[in-house]
Structure 1
Amino acid sequence: MCRRRAALVTFSSSATTAKYSSRLSVTSTISFSSSSDQKRVLDLWYRSFDSSERLSTTRMQLSTIDLILVGVYFLVMLFIGFQTARRISTPDDFAVAGRRLTWPVVFATMAATFLGGGATMGRAGQSYEIGYAFMFAAIAFPFQTMLVGWFIAPRLNAYRKSETIGDIFELHSGRLARLLVGILGLGVSIGILGAQALALGTIFKVVFGMDPTLGIIVGMVVVLLYSTAGGMWADVQTDVIQFIMLGIFLPVALLIGVFTAGGPSDFVARIPDTHLELFSAFGFWEFLAIFVAFALGEALIPPYVQRAFGATDPKTARKGYAFAGAFGLIFYFVSASLGVLAFVMYPNIAADDAIPAVVTELLPVGAAGLVAASLVAVIMSTADSLLNSAAVVFSKDIVKGFLVPNIKPRQLLWTERASNFGIGLGALLFALNAESIVDALLLTYGFWAPTVVVPLVAVVVTKQRAPVAVVAAMTAGAVSSAIWTFGLGTPADINAVIIGLPINIIVLIATYALVDAPRNRRTGTEKVVAA
């Protein structure tokens, strides 16, 4: 095997090393120069997810005033949920907020959804250890969000009667395609939701000193109540508040910390050179591997697509997405700088204690409580969006799309609410009874990219009817990925995405050219009317 490192990423369960048992492993598809290289990239990539195991376990020593502020935040979230319940009269209201989202709201809810615990606590911990290098690799995701917003989001918004990816696939490819993408979308949403539930348990331990089990229950119950009552309207309104909190209070925490360290000039002068170098912690191929992984990570998963549907018009969707991606670039810098600041001020603490140390040691009473509430908010904002999208996907793509096609709108609305409650309760129970859901999360990630992303982009860009090509491509991508992973045991640790995605693309193009295109020409039904 060639010894040159490859810029490809492998996701696998690390069953051979106890330290990384049940964790997400990411290594180069062609061997690194040493096992330590693999472990370093593995650990860094693992921490980019919102998994509870990598969040700090050191309790923030908050004052009574700070704890009251955090409590007020929870009450406000619940109030919004029950207040917006009166606005939910149709499935469209519950699923896409009545398609009345302005671009600032799309901007805020998108940013709040993808900026979870990994983008705050995780990014700060990574930067504490290795400096800004990982931040530069991770910014692939905000860049991807900007590109999707500019080229894809307006086209998604043009489907004015669609609420899920399955709605689009049924227009282009029929009910079977809808069912397949519904199952996959439900899996990926629930998988990441489970990770958020675990992260809530840990963040409650950090903020309140609460037992993680009780933290999971409290956090998920709050999310469950306001999301079930208010649907996407509640999610969006709480996301806006959560966005304001994380967009203001974390940068303020950074500014206070920098001036406590002697001002910007002194702070920069005290940063070690290794924390400023792009390839200080890993080589070029390792850097590229992480960059590509972030670029492909959560592209077009259900909650992001819902926000494109919910925008008032295509220009609104484009503008909201673009600003969210741009804000992500800034926020990644802020969270990374908080980690570097913690390293400068407290070089002997655990990396994952970076933000807790800054909050408890540098911030005054009141400000510490607001930042602590912001840390809870970043996880809840992601959890509520995933819960809502899972409920909508189940209700629209599986119940209405396959089980009960003639379900009435009022019944569908109550199905969405019941699904929201049931899925949220299931995620809560799963988190309470599972040490780690990383392997399940890994599985949904591994099957999303080689099945859904390319066919979705293809149909919304070309508007072509492809009843055979989409189903064939999704099936080929899923089957090849499954065989590679489970049948062959992931040879050479090459991720199944590397195998499944090219097969998915080849089958899509070939099947369309050989089957769908000739049929479309004969019937004169090549184009699909999005609206």
Structure 2
Amino acid sequence: MPTIQESINIYETITPLDWTVFFIVILITVASVLYGNRLKANVNSEEDNFLDLLLMGRKLTLPMFTATLVATWYGGIFGVTEIAFNNGIYNFVTQGAFWYVSYIIFALFMVNKVNSYKAMTLPDLIEKMFGPKSAKLSAVFNFFNVLPIAYTISLGIFLKMIFGGELVTNMAIGITFVLLYSIWGGLRAVVFSDLIQFFVMCLGVFLVLLFSITGFGGLGFLQENLPQSYFNPTGTVGLGTTLVWGFIALSTLVDPNFYQRCFAAKSNKVARNGILVSTFIWFCFDICTTFGAMYAKAIIPNAASDTAYLTYAVQLLPDGLRGFFLAGILATILSTLDSYLFLAGTTITYDMIPKKISAKVNFHHIGVVATGILAIILANSFDGNIKKVWKTLGSYSAACLLLPVLYGYIFPNRIKDKQFVFSCLLGVVATTYWRNAQHTGFWQNVDELYAGIFATTIGLVISSIVANIRSK
């Protein structure tokens, strides 16, 4: 095995063979986008063209559905591997297991309900369930939920590690590249690029784990070289903080990317089976990234935690495979960034602005560009902290939007437009207050997510009581 250092210049480790493999993968990805666009059927109206732009004409087959859904979910790979590097299998629990439960719930119990509304976006669906005011409010939640801040940071970190320069400059360069193909081909371009990126990213992280096991040994090696807390499901933070991630994972049930893929699927069966197959693939991917980062901790314990996995992997892998792995990391980031960028732009131009103005292809392009610029600005304000981004934005979505939407599924027509808005806004106020207030004693351990969920629940109860009184 090569000697693995805690800090290296990655650019200097890349050989001509690595560059060749790396750019071959990039060219194949571009070719797949071009091929996908050639398959686009001729459309005779602006409405059909817009449907193809947003939902690929509702023609996603099972392989395409699975590939694009899997690829969309892992753009924050530096955040995931940083958690694993610092906390071990706590990462698998909080960023994996909790989410699998949400995926399975969505597949088995929600797909049929979701697709029965024939909506274009999640806010569009909420408007059909509750009313226009609820749709506008949910559009605001969705926009910040899918604003690709974390993935812009990930792309900037990746490019900076290879080429050097300032983080914000690398983020701007990366976003510009993604904007070009996202605008040009819409969801079709995203899906066909995801097909290639799916295979590259999965094989890349598998190779790191395979070479780690063959080079250093299996689980016994990790147990000998890592603290016991790395094998504790709650790490060093305790059950309460761990469960916060469980509630954030449930925000999948109101995640616009899930809904968009389901709306684009050819049938409910494709959507349901695609989510279940994707869940198994995510399980395998999480095993690879979690244990790969744990090997990095065991070998280079003092490396910078946010880039330790990449530093470890590029020294571990031989020439050629190193280039393939780097292409896989880039694919992992791009496949999520393009989806989130596209969907955030859709939220602005389709859900926040009157349809007669917004439902046009060129106007959608403007929204995507505006989203990219805002993502760079906000990514810079978070100082490159991916975990902080997830925690901040995920808390609001899980605390304020999740319960009213689930209540609407379980008890159709029981919540009216104003009741939905009232309960969500109460959750926003409680979450924001708890985040910024000073707490002592027991209350120091109560996360703002719990305060938001409690307030949203109270809002739903009050709304239901008032509605019952008025109906008598």
Assess same fold via TM > 0.5: yes
Gap regions ≥5 residues in structure 1: 1-55, 523-531
Shift, 1:369, TM fit: 0.5
How many Å separate the matches in 2 of 1:200 and 1:180? 30
Shift, 1:200, TM fit: 0.9
- 1:417-440 deviation line (CA, Å, top 9, x unaligned): 221122223323554677457777
- 1:464 matched to which residue of 2? 413
Aligned-pair Cα RMSD in Å: 3.2
Judged with a 3 Å threshold, the aligned counterparts in structure 2 of structure 1 residues 72 and 106 are, in CA distance, closer, same or farther, namely same
- 1:14 matched to which residue of 2? none
Shift, 1:220, TM fit: 0.9
- 2:293 matched to which residue of 1? 339
Confirm whether residue 106 of structure 1 aligns to residue 58 of structure 2: no
Gap regions ≥5 residues in structure 2: 1-6
- SS of 2:333's equivalent in the other structure is helix
How many Å separate the matches in 1 of 2:376 and 2:332? 18
Confirm whether residue 67 of structure 1 aligns to residue 14 of structure 2: no
Residue type matched to 2:431 in 1?
A: S
Larger mean CA deviation between 343-352 and 457-466 belongs to 343-352
Judged with a 3 Å threshold, the aligned counterparts in structure 2 of structure 1 residues 434 and 258 are, in CA distance, closer, same or farther, namely closer
Larger proportion of helix: 2
How many Å separate the matches in 1 of 2:146 and 2:134? 18
- 1:169 matched to which residue of 2? 126
Q: Is the 8 A contact 2:32 2:196 kept in 1?
A: no
How many Å separate the matches in 1 of 2:84 and 2:434? 35
- 2:88 matched to which residue of 1? 131
Q: Is the 8 A contact 2:70 2:278 kept in 1?
A: yes
Count of aligned pairs between the two proteins: 452
Matching residue within 282, 291, 316 for 1:362: 316
- SS of 1:251's equivalent in the other structure is helix
- 1:79-114 deviation line (CA, Å, top 9, x unaligned): 444554563852221222221112332222222112
- 1:220 matched to which residue of 2? 175
Aligned counterparts, 1:65-214, within 5 A: 65-81=17-33, 84-85=36-37, 87=40, 90-118=49-77, 121-138=78-95, 139-160=97-118, 162-190=119-147, 193-209=148-164, 211-214=166-169
How many Å separate the matches in 2 of 1:201 and 1:219? 7
How many Å separate the matches in 1 of 2:111 and 2:380? 36
How many Å separate the matches in 1 of 2:85 and 2:128? 49
How many Å separate the matches in 2 of 1:105 and 1:222? 23
How many Å separate the matches in 1 of 2:412 and 2:251? 25
Residue type matched to 1:397 in 2?
A: D
Confirm whether residue 475 of structure 1 aligns to residue 432 of structure 2: no
Q: Is the 8 A contact 1:256 1:363 kept in 2?
A: yes
Question: TM-score with structure 2 length normalisation?
Answer: 0.84
Shift, 1:245, TM fit: 1.0
Residue type matched to 1:394 in 2?
A: I
Shift, 1:318, TM fit: 1.5
Residue type matched to 2:50 in 1?
A: P
Q: Is the 8 A contact 2:248 2:395 kept in 1?
A: no
How many Å separate the matches in 2 of 1:427 and 1:474? 25
How many Å separate the matches in 1 of 2:372 and 2:190? 14
- SS of 1:406's equivalent in the other structure is helix
- 1:11-49 deviation line (CA, Å, top 9, x unaligned): xxxxxxxxxxxxxxxxxxxxxxxxxxxxxxxxxxxxxxx
- SS of 2:415's equivalent in the other structure is coil
Q: Is the 8 A contact 1:145 1:322 kept in 2?
A: yes
Q: Is the 8 A contact 1:450 1:500 kept in 2?
A: yes
Matching residue within 362, 375, 381 for 1:414: 362
- SS of 1:140's equivalent in the other structure is helix
Residue type matched to 1:238 in 2?
A: S
Aligned counterparts, 1:113-512, within 5 A: 113-118=72-77, 121-138=78-95, 139-160=97-118, 162-190=119-147, 193-209=148-164, 211-261=166-216, 264=218, 267=221, 272=226, 274=228, 277-278=231-232, 281-282=235-236, 284-285=238-239, 288-289=242-243, 291-292=245-246, 294-296=248-250, 298-347=252-301, 349-400=303-354, 405-407=355-357, 409=359, 412-431=360-379, 435=383, 443-464=392-413, 466-467=415-416, 468-485=418-435, 488=437, 492-493=443-444, 494-512=446-464
Larger mean CA deviation between 309-318 and 460-469 belongs to 460-469
Question: TM-score with structure 1 length normalisation?
Answer: 0.75
How many Å separate the matches in 1 of 2:8 and 2:110? 40
